[in-house]
Amino acid sequence: MDSQTKAEPMRVLVTGGSGLVGKAIEHVVKQEGGCLEGEQWTFLSSKEANLVDLQQTRAVFEKYRPTHVIHLAAKVGGLYLHMKENLHFLIHNGPPHDSNFGYSHAKRMIDIQNRGYFAQHGRHYTAVIPTNVYGPYDNFNFENGHVLSALMHKTYAAKKEGTPLQVWGSGTPRRQFIYSLDVARLFLWVLREYDEIDPIILSVGEEEELPIKDAVEMIADALDFKGQIVFDTSKSDGQMKKTASNAKLRRYLPDFTFTPLSEGIKKTCDWFVNNYDIART
């Protein structure tokens, strides 16, 4: 995220604008009053420009002349895609667990690059680190989607077909989940108010970390699934815990209210059912 200048109305370019977080930011900007007077917001998808191509990147910046950039474009996926394509995640994204070492190292390098740009060129870039984002417009693919979105699709399909819900892994790993609209609201705060180069974790509190099997039950309730739930322990659990502290965020925003997980899951399930034809499956 680049927030170099605040002297003039912002021209904000959001890459990855058609994805999970990009769509959430667009919602906050356009429907929750997130766009201030005089600001220009552009949401760019990979169909409009391949930012791996330097010429296309230059053309985009010459066209939109952004004062601020929220860079979301990346290769993303769930646990099993990470395990299968670690090298691709490292190449395309720029002490990790073996299941996602490529993605983890790529994310760590963003912070190092930001520090380097500031030290050598005075450029004001920072990185935000959200934990396990879920919400509308996510990738709901069984194999390549994020954990909650993939489970929502599996549950939807199991209910429709009258079959047991097959959950990969034991369901015991613990995770902190954050609703995409909460992430979007925090992104706008970071853009306008957060001046540090050091990254900031955007996450619910450590006390909100829960086993995946608890989230599965919330999804089953949201979709009114009454069938059998089977945990396939032959599949990898990945890392058992990834506990993240939001103490720094709370020092800045002690009163920020996160969407309860059960509420966010219900909203996301409703969106998925109502938009199945356009959802990424």
- Give the catalytic positions in this structure: 103
Contact 20, 179 (CB under 8 A): no
Run of H or E residues at 84: helix 79-84
What is the distance between the alpha carbons of residues 222 and 30, in angstroms, rounded to a whole number? 28
Distance CA 188, CA 190 (A): 5
Residue 207 CB-density burial (10 A; 0-12 exposed, 13-18 middle, 19+ buried): exposed
Residue with the two structure tokens 């990346």: 74
Distinct helix (H) and strand (E) counts, the chain = 10, 11
Question: With contact defined as beta carbons under 8 Å apart, do 99 and 236 qualify?
Answer: yes
How far apart are the C-alpha atoms of 67 and 38, rounded to whole Å?
13
Query: At residue 281, what is the residue type?
Result: T
Q: What is the C-alpha radius of gyration for the chain, rounded to an integer number of angstroms?
A: 19
Neighbours of 109 (CB within 10 A): 13
